[in-house]
Amino acid sequence: MMNQPFKDKLTSEEEIRELVGSSSPLVMKKTVHAMDIHCMDFICKSPMIFISTSDNKGKCDVSPRGDHPGFIHIIDHQHFVIPERPGNRRLDSILNILSNPHIGVIFIIPQLEETLRINGRACVIKDADLLESMKVNGKAPSMGIGVTVEECYMHCAKAFKRSKLWDPESWSDVNELPKPAKILAAHAGAKEDEVARSLKESYEKRLY
C-alpha cells in the first residue's frame, strides 16, 4: 500500500478561510469576462504562456508555449488562437481539449512580476486563414488551440517576488543547474550522449 504522509488535511472551505481569511474588495471585483485593451496589450507583449488542461476524468497537465511577443493571434475581445508548433508529439494538451474543453492560461512578460490569467473553453482548429497568419520562417502551424474567453484577471506579483525569478543575482551558477539530457536518459533508459545529440538536433532543426 502506498505511503500516506499527509495526516492533517483541510477538507472544507470553512477550514481554509479560518486560516487565510477572505479576499479584498479589489480582488473580488478584478475579474472581467472579455479581453479589453489592457488584456490585449499584455498578450501582445507576452512571449511565454503556460496552459492548463485536463481530460474528462480530471487528469491534469500544464504545458508551456513560447515564441516571439505577439505569437498569440487575437481575433476579437472574446477569442484568440495559440499556435501549435512542433513538439514531442505526446499531444497531452491537445488530447485533453478533445475530451474536456476547459482551459486556463497564464501569460508572462519578462521582468514584469504580475501575470495575466485567462480561463475559458478551447477547441483544436485547422482554419487555414488563421494558421497562415501565424507563419514563422515560412512555416504555418499545422493546427492551433482556439480559446473562447470566459474570465480575465491580473495575478499579483508575490510568487515572482518570493522566487526572485527576474533577479539574475539570485540565479544558480550555470554549472550547478540540472542536466536535462541526463534526467531524460535516466527516465527513458537511454544513453545520455545520444539524448543530448537528439535534443540539440531538435532545437536546431525543428523549432518550426
Instruction: Please say whether the beta carbons of 147 and 118 come within 8 A.
Output: yes
The model's confidence at residue 3, banded by pLDDT at 50, 70 and 90, is confident
Q: Report yes or no on 19 lying in a domain.
A: no
Q: Does any domain span residue 21?
A: no
Centre a 10 Å sphere on the Cβ of residue 166 and count the other Cβ atoms it contains: 14
Distance CA 149, CA 120 (A): 5
Looking at the 3D structure of the chain, how many domains does it have? 2
Asked whether residue 4 is domain-assigned, the answer is: no
pLDDT > 70? residue 1: no
pLDDT, tens digit, 9 for 90 and up, residues 27-78: 889 999 999 999 999 999 999 999 999 999 999 999 999 999 999 999 999 9
Amino acid at position 129, single letter? D
**Same domain for 160 and 179?**
no
**93 assigned to some structural domain:** yes
Task: Identify whether residues 46 and 106 lie together within a single domain.
Answer: yes
* Residue 17 covered by a domain: no
pLDDT one-digit tens code per residue, 128-171: 999 999 999 999 999 999 999 999 999 999 999 999 999 999 99
Domain, as residue range, for 143: 28-166
Total-model pTM: 0.94
In a domain, 13, yes or no: no
Please tell me whether residues 135 and 192 are part of one structural domain. no
Is there a domain that residue 191 lies in? yes
One domain for residues 101 and 201 = no
Partners of 118 in beta bridges: 105, 152
* pLDDT classification of 176: cutoffs 50, 70, 90: very high
Same domain, 129 and 198: no
Q: Are residues 138 and 40 in the same domain?
A: yes
Q: What is the mean pLDDT of residues 176-203?
A: 96
85, 39: one domain = yes
| CATH number for the domain that contains residue 106 | 2.30.110.10
Same domain, 127 and 181: no
Both 110 and 194 in one domain: the answer is: no
92-117 per-position pLDDT tens digit: 999 999 999 999 999 999 999 999 99
Per-residue pLDDT, 74: 98
* Residue 78 and residue 178 in one domain: no
Same domain, 194 and 136: no
Q: Are 90 and 112 contained in the same domain? A: yes
Sign of CA dihedral 98, 155, 108, 118: positive
Answer whether residue 7 is part of any domain. Answer: no
Q: How far apart are CA 208 and CA 68, in angstroms?
A: 12
Annotate the chain with three-state secondary structure.
Answer: CCCCCCCCCCCCHHHHHHHHCCCCHHHHHCCECCCCHHHHHHHHCCCEEEEEEECCCCCEEEEEEECCCCCCEEEECCEEEEEECCCCCCCHHHHHHHHCCEEEEEEECCCCCCEEEEEEEEEEECCHHHHHCCCECCECCCEEEEEEEEEEEEECCHHHHHHCCCCHHHCCCHHHCCCHHHHHHHHHCCCHHHHHHHHHHHHHHCCC
pLDDT at 2: 77
